[in-house]
Structure 1
Amino acid sequence: MKRKLLFFLLFFVTGSALLAQEKVFNGRVIDAQTGEPLPFVSVYFKNSDFGTTTNFDGNYSFKAVPNSDSLTVSYVGYITRSKAITNEKVQTINFQLQDNSTSLAEVLIRPTENPAFKILRQVVAHKALNNKEKLSAYQYESYNKIELDVDNITDAFKKRSLIKPVTSILDSIKLIAGDEGEPVLPVFISESLSDFYYLKNPKKTKEIIKASKVTGIGMDDGSLISQLIGSTFQEYNFYDNRMNLLKKEFVSPIADGWKLYYDYDLEDSLYINGVYCYKLKVIPRRAQDLVFGGYIWIAKENYALRQVDLSVGKSANLNFIEKVKIQQELQPTSAGPYLPVKTRLLVKIISVGKQRPGMLAKIYTSSRNIQVNQPQPLKFYTEPVELAEKALKHNDTFWNENRHDSLSATEQHVYAMIDSVREIPAVKTYVEIVNIIINGYKTVGKIDLGPYPYTYAFNNIEGHRFQVGFKTNPEFSRKIEFSGFGAYGTRDGRFKYRASGRAILSRRKWTEVGISDKEDLQQIGLETEKIGDNALFLASSRFGELKRPYRQHETEIWGQRELFKGFTERITLRQRSFNPLFPFSYVFDSNENGVVLKNSFSTSEIIFDTRFANNEMFLQSENSRISLGNKGWPVFNLRYLLGLKNALGSDVSYQRLEANVRQDIPMGILGTGRYELEAGRIFSTVPYPLLEVHLGNETPFYTRNAFTLMNYFEFASDSYASLHYNQHLEGFGLNSIPLVSKLKWRMVLTGNILYGHLSDANLALLPPQDHQGRDLETFNQFSNGVPYAEVGYGFENIFKFLRVQAFHRLTYRNNPDANNFGIKVAAQFNL
């Protein structure tokens, strides 16, 4: 009996020792919905104090003698999970965490000062020392990876007729989602490898994209996409008071005015990569503001930002966005200031209804080989984004050797899945329909047909107007583009047309030449050149009764070149004829028998256009280039027109000078102000169609370059100055009103003012009757010192796309047919 007892005790001790021996645990923790890795997650044994945290890529690894039968992971905002451990010496245990959809904690009221506030004051005091923009220059190699997925793929969604052909593909989605994750359908993935350069004075950036790999559904222009996926557009600096994200200004949690927007909790102190850090919880004071919630880690030794894990919830005043999550890891440079070495951004685009899909955008950026304070020559930064000649031609071997982080098995499967999906006929049709809606053209081989808004109109001159247009695409040529349209009116029985061609001579300093010939109907004061690119306003102005219509034949030859960065010069030779379809005459000459009237005229002009936009960013898209703005700098335009009498049958000699400046001004809590200031003068006597006939608006639609309550042809002048101003208040004021804040409406204020003058000499060209003795309509003149003025107020973002404003006319209220109050609408899609 004693032997049995001794044997049992020996077996128990030996078995316990075997069970208690040190084991290796590793794995990865990801978001079950998005598949993104979760950094800084607590990993520990259940009912034990021992544990670790995941790194920036969601990985963990440690050795331990387990004193529990399970391993647990927990993270704020996610449901805590546990998994059983085994007796194996090396165990890989992966976790997929579900969002628990709980909101951040309420702001706490403390009887004494919050200890986190002391840390924040030191962070702000040390910003100038730790901000990377303190460096005179820096450069690094950057790796960027972007993936777009369709999520919320329900059974009902799979049964839709358009999706049924993709069913076989959807069956393999589990390979991407994992056993416990939500299925997603990838539609785009890209990688880029580039060298990024920054210069402090003057502030310049340059990126040379050395390699780019793009795979996506409906993505044909690899060169354009390759310019968009580099580090230039993934710069997120929390040391700035306001950080531009999704074209919105978000308040940084370490902004100078942090206390107006945030509260904080000091939750922990811990070592991160050997550096002792404070862990601060960031809590928005108002969830509707464009602010962040989550965590930041601050180094104790110099109060620098070391890590960031922040989110923007669906309560924020953003459209179509359910969630924004940004994670960042920063490291000090040899000169002191910190640079991000890894950044991960996730944007979840909201599903419209529970049974409809949404979108996920996942962006990852890493930096290595950082060098500081070694500026390049100034001319090196001339072209902000440059695509290397062989950037799109690298094979898989190159990528395997040069990407900063190897692709996971899931990401490798994404490439194969996208190739399969985009070859399905139903998907090709859907992509084509979306492309037509967005661009207005349908691609047929080497030609794009459109644009569709101008296909049909009905008015009193033409009756039913039908129009068909086209332009060649890069499949036809990357140097030459032809375009045009043909239109026919059933009432006037006349054919109208435009035929044009242009040649791109240089892309480095964008240079092009072109020629155009056009015959069509126009309306005085509503010329296409004045209306600009507002297709809805231009198309609607062709319906109903046309005001002062005329037929015009116009021929143009032009040349354009960007002489240096931001400075573009254009020279145009233009010949026009004016043939009115309403009573019109002007005093052409006078002799002993009296005045000589003419009811038509022609002009031959030389036009010089100068444009300067400092720091403007352009992307080249095949045969055109796209402006991405110039970061708040004003844009200047100057135009000089010289009319040449007797040249090519011209009846008029005149000179005209115009100047225009516009700018968007970020105003922090007050949103964004946008102004456009314009002035001009005509130095000669001209028929009144050549005067500045100020753009009125008798349509129900708002357009920013028109005077909203001014009638067509109400005012004309030969010298003038005007100001259009819009204040977009975003959520200011409305975010603080209960219930109203949930609508996410945004206030917008408008003010337009104009003063002009018409000389006696130009007035003398206006006879009371035309050459047939018919009374002529005249326009109003500006009283001395009294400008035309109007103000508007209203809301935008109604139902996420409508802008509705009420306008009041402040002056000239007694003019004939004056419209002193009106409501205008506009469709606009903004985040």
Structure 2
Amino acid sequence: MRPDYKIFIQSVFLLLISVVVGGSVLAQGIRGKVVSSEGELLPYASVYIRNLGDGVPTNQDGRYEYKLDPGVYDVLIQFLGYKSQLKAVEVGEQWVDLDFVLEPQVYTLSEVEVRAGQEDPALTIMRKAISKAKFHRLQLQQYSMTVYLKGTGQLTDAPFFLKKTLEKEGLKLNEAYTSESVSRITFTQPNKVEEKVISIRTNGDNQSTSPAPYIQTSFYQEKINDIISPLSRSAFTYYRFTYEGSFFDQDVLVNKIKVTPRSRGERVFEGYIYIIEDLWAIHSLNLKTSLLGFDIQATQQYAPVAENVWMPLTHTYRFGGKFFGFEGEFKYLASTREYEVTLNPDLAYVPEIIDEKVQEVTEDVADFKKRNLPWSNWPKSNPLLEKNIES
């Protein structure tokens, strides 16, 4: 063998070794599964690394994998209806197997019991949350997030007179639809949204069931995809609210509120919203609605991305039902991570919310209420005083 060829082969061999070794050095982090105390796998649970303010969801089999540099991390697991669990883990040069077993959430009733003729505590909680909604909506001047979206589904039925036409156009019944994409979304006040698609892979037709309107719109808005939000200023006109207990999570007290439409139909939600005490921000939600004959189930789990700022981390959406003879079911998982936030400098002060119906208004707050301040565009025109929203 010629010396120059021999040197070339040795160089290539050494290069391959360096690539393999280098890849193994970088391949470390945590991985495992999340199950309930009954052994049930928990799909789409939130795996949140508190040190980084970032996380990933588990897959449909309740498993996760997260690459990390060597170091010590606090790993928080969240799944709606179960107690959150926090573990500290040290990551070295190898993968660390880290499994979690979650216990069902235990709700405690407030000291203020609901007696005959006495107002439900949910009304005070929701009045304060609604009054604070605009603050939370404007709290961030700008934010960017990476959105991983995975969708699956299929069209299971169609009007008989259209089936042949659909087949000619290449659309077959019971043919699986799959989609997977990664994009970077930047929102800038008041309503500028920019999306940069990093990667996308799609097979089939989603029948216009995209969850984008729910991901890119906050539940602090008056409407989500033209559906009245439970935090809308007119929410008490459309909904009844019932207090169902509270629990502690990540050192905050969370209230579970049942949301019931006053008149069932389209354009309203039904289910549960979880509100953080004192901060009056969304902790999580599990709401359903219907739109054009399709039933829509939306679940969101929030996490703190800055001081007093909670943003959605894991979303799951289900679309199913019949529409003009078409029938199908579609499921989506969205993971929003790698948040970069810029706080609104005009909202550096966090206002205290007072409910006039159940709390005494002090003289200093009453005086503040009378001043002509530039907060006149707030709901009920006062950042410190929640006016009597009709219930």
* TM superposition shift of 1:142: 1.3
Q: Is the 8 A contact 1:144 1:230 kept in 2?
A: no
**Distance between the aligned counterparts of 1:285 and 1:275, measured in 2?**
30
1:348 aligns to what? 320
Structure 2: which 5+ residue stretches go unaligned?
1-35, 44-59, 63-77, 86-98, 106-113, 167-171, 345-391
2:330 aligns to what? 361
Partner residue of 1:189 out of 178, 181, 189: 178
Change (3 A) 1:259 1:217: closer
Change (3 A) 1:61 1:191: same
Q: Secondary structure at the match of 1:118?
A: helix
Q: Is the 8 A contact 1:140 1:196 kept in 2?
A: yes
2:41 aligns to what? 28
1:589 aligns to what? none
* TM superposition shift of 1:150: 3.1
Q: Secondary structure at the match of 1:333?
A: strand
Quote the sequence identity (%): 20
2:308 aligns to what? 336
2:101 aligns to what? 62
Q: Is the 8 A contact 1:194 1:211 kept in 2?
A: yes
1:199 has 2:197 as partner: no
Partner residue of 2:258 out of 278, 281, 288: 281
1:263 aligns to what? 240
Q: Is the 8 A contact 1:142 1:231 kept in 2?
A: no
**Distance between the aligned counterparts of 1:347 and 1:267, measured in 2?**
27
Give matches, 1:194-233, under 5 Å: 194-200=183-189, 203-216=191-204
**Distance between the aligned counterparts of 1:198 and 1:334, measured in 2?**
16
* TM superposition shift of 1:271: 2.3
Q: Is the 8 A contact 1:207 1:231 kept in 2?
A: no
Q: Which amino acid aligns with 2:335?
A: S
Structure 1: which 5+ residue stretches go unaligned?
1-22, 43-51, 55-59, 65-71, 74-107, 164-169, 171-183, 220-224, 376-831
**Distance between the aligned counterparts of 2:101 and 2:80, measured in 1?**
15
Q: Which amino acid aligns with 2:274?
A: W
Aligned-pair RMSD on alpha carbons?
4.4
* TM superposition shift of 1:189: 1.0
1:124 aligns to what? 130
Give matches, 1:82-97, under 5 Å: none
**Distance between the aligned counterparts of 1:250 and 1:230, measured in 2?**
14
Partner residue of 1:294 out of 267, 271, 280: 271
1:142 aligns to what? 147
Per-residue CA deviation, residues 620-652 of structure 1 (Å, 9 max, x unaligned), is xxxxxxxxxxxxxxxxxxxxxxxxxxxxxxxxx
* TM superposition shift of 1:144: 1.2
* TM superposition shift of 1:310: 0.4
1:319 has 2:319 as partner: no
Change (3 A) 1:233 1:262: closer
**Distance between the aligned counterparts of 2:250 and 2:302, measured in 1?**
11
Q: Is the 8 A contact 1:143 1:194 kept in 2?
A: yes
2:121 aligns to what? 115
Q: Secondary structure at the match of 2:130?
A: helix
**Distance between the aligned counterparts of 2:61 and 2:322, measured in 1?**
17
Per-residue CA deviation, residues 471-518 of structure 1 (Å, 9 max, x unaligned), is xxxxxxxxxxxxxxxxxxxxxxxxxxxxxxxxxxxxxxxxxxxxxxxx
TM-score by length of 2: 0.54
Q: Is the 8 A contact 1:41 1:53 kept in 2?
A: no
Q: Secondary structure at the match of 1:240?
A: coil
Change (3 A) 1:126 1:296: same
Partner residue of 2:223 out of 242, 253, 258: 242
Q: Is the 8 A contact 2:292 2:323 kept in 1?
A: no
Q: Which has the higher contact order (CA 8 A, sep 6+)?
A: 2
Give matches, 1:508-527, under 5 Å: none
Q: Is the 8 A contact 1:250 1:291 kept in 2?
A: yes
**Distance between the aligned counterparts of 2:269 and 2:142, measured in 1?**
29
**Distance between the aligned counterparts of 2:206 and 2:125, measured in 1?**
49
Q: Which amino acid aligns with 2:40?
A: G
Change (3 A) 1:338 1:53: closer
Q: Which amino acid aligns with 1:216?
A: G
* TM superposition shift of 1:276: 1.8
**Distance between the aligned counterparts of 1:290 and 1:110, measured in 2?**
32
**Distance between the aligned counterparts of 2:324 and 2:248, measured in 1?**
43
* TM superposition shift of 1:124: 1.6
Larger Rg: 1
Give matches, 1:412-561, under 5 Å: none
**Distance between the aligned counterparts of 2:236 and 2:315, measured in 1?**
26
Q: Is the 8 A contact 2:187 2:193 kept in 1?
A: yes
Q: Secondary structure at the match of 2:40?
A: strand
Q: Secondary structure at the match of 1:287?
A: coil
Q: Which amino acid aligns with 1:237?
A: S
Q: Is the 8 A contact 2:276 2:283 kept in 1?
A: yes
Change (3 A) 1:29 1:340: closer
TM-score by length of 1: 0.27
* TM superposition shift of 1:186: 4.8
**Distance between the aligned counterparts of 1:302 and 1:338, measured in 2?**
10
**Distance between the aligned counterparts of 2:272 and 2:339, measured in 1?**
26
Per-residue CA deviation, residues 754-786 of structure 1 (Å, 9 max, x unaligned), is xxxxxxxxxxxxxxxxxxxxxxxxxxxxxxxxx
Per-residue CA deviation, residues 192-235 of structure 1 (Å, 9 max, x unaligned), is 1111111115x32211111111122699xxxxx9xx97957732
**Distance between the aligned counterparts of 2:249 and 2:339, measured in 1?**
21
1:304 aligns to what? 281
Change (3 A) 1:344 1:36: farther
* TM superposition shift of 1:364: 2.0
Give matches, 1:62-81, under 5 Å: 62=101
Change (3 A) 1:330 1:115: same
**Distance between the aligned counterparts of 1:258 and 1:266, measured in 2?**
16
Q: Is the 8 A contact 1:231 1:365 kept in 2?
A: no
Q: Is the 8 A contact 1:320 1:350 kept in 2?
A: yes
Change (3 A) 1:36 1:304: farther
Give matches, 1:355-754, under 5 Å: 358-373=327-342
Aligned length: 251
Change (3 A) 1:110 1:368: same
**Distance between the aligned counterparts of 2:148 and 2:331, measured in 1?**
14
**Distance between the aligned counterparts of 1:36 and 1:150, measured in 2?**
24
